[in-house]
Amino acid sequence: MSEVVCRICGQVIHAKDAQTTNLHDRLRVHHPAEYSSLPESSRTTELRRNQPTSSEVFAKITKYKRDSERWKQCTDTVTRYLAKEVVSFNTVEKSAFKAMLQTFDKQYELPG
């Protein structure tokens, strides 16, 4: 873990892997005037802008309802693949096929 010294107050701040998050937080909390003088792009790190909310995270792990448009669309696509490529229907029971679908869309669950 690296340590840096705040040039304003001399406080030692931990900077894991040379990240600037702790430095930004220190400025924001302890030196608000200096923090507000930073350009907007410096005040909001890329990580914070792209970090999902907890509701977004939970939404991504919740399976689609069977009457939803997305579930119908995925099921229709699997059915078309099986029919057009003349693939055996038991393909959908194979673990590799299920793993492939989960890689593409974790919320999709094949019909029984």
Q: What confidence tens digit (pLDDT) does each residue in 84-104 have?
A: 999 998 999 999 999 999 999
Of 17, 40, 16, 14, which Cα lies nearest the Cα of 26? 14
Q: How far is CA 67 from CA 7, 74, 76, 98, 102, in A?
A: 59, 12, 13, 20, 19
With a cut of 80, say whether residue 105 has pLDDT above it: yes
List all residues 6 or more positions away from 57 whose beta carbon is below 8 Å from its beta carbon: none
* Distance, CA of 31 to CA of 28 (rounded, Å): 6
Of 107, 105, 97, 93, which Cα lies nearest the Cα of 64? 107
- Residue-wise pLDDT for 19-62, tens only, equals 777 878 888 888 888 888 878 766 665 445 567 777 777 777 88
Residue in the structure block whose two tokens are 């055996």: 88
